[in-house]
Structure 1
Amino acid sequence: MRLRVRLTPRASRNMLEGVVRDAEGRALLQLRLKAPPVEGAANTALIAFLATELKLRKRDIDLVSGTKSRVKILQLNGDPSELVRRLERWIAQAA
C-alpha cells in the first residue's frame, strides 16, 4: 500500500495533524516530527514514527520518493485491509 505524507520537520513534538489535500486534490497525511531535515534524520524519524503508530516493523516501510521533499510517498508492506484499518483508527484518534 502506498501512503502520501506531508512532513514538517523541527516541530515541538511528533504528531499526526490530520489529512490534507494537495493542489491536485490527493489526500496526504500531515505529520510533524521533532527531527531536523539534516542528513536523512527526518526520513529515519518518519519511518520509526509510522512503524510505532501503525504497529509495523521499520523494514516494512520503504521511502519510495521525496527524500529531500516535504511530500513523501511511502510503501507500507502488509495486509492492505489491516493497514487501512490501522490508519483509519489512528486518524480518528488524532481528530
Structure 2
Amino acid sequence: MKHVYDYMFHILQSCGKLMKMNVEVPEGAKEVCPETMACPVKGGRMRQYMDDSLILSPSNKGSCEMPPPFEEDELKKFLEKKKSVEKEVEKWTNEYWEEQKKSLQH
C-alpha cells in the first residue's frame, strides 16, 4: 500500500507542476488530517481498514523504481502458473454453479 501512495503522490506532484493557478485558502476553512477523518468511525472493518492503510511517513525509495525485468524462463513459469490458477478458479466456479442448479431443481 505504501508504494501505491508514493506513486499517487509522485503523479500529483508532477501534475501540480504543470498547473498555473494561485491556490487560496477560503475564509473559514478548517484543516483536516487523516486522524480527524477516522475519529468518527468507531471499530469495525472500516476502522480497521483505515488504521491498516494509514501511512505515517513517506517511503525512502524513489516512487518510480521498477524491479528488474523477468528472465525469459521466470516469465514463462509465472505465466504458466497464472494460467493454471485461472483454470482452477474457473473449474471451481463452474462446479459451484452446477451445485446451485442441482439444489434449485430439488
TM-score (norm 1): 0.19
Which protein is richer in helix relative to its size? 2
For CA contacts below 8 A with separation 6 or more, give which structure has more relative contact order. Answer: 2
Bigger radius of gyration: 2
Which protein is richer in strand relative to its size? 1
TM-score (norm 2): 0.17
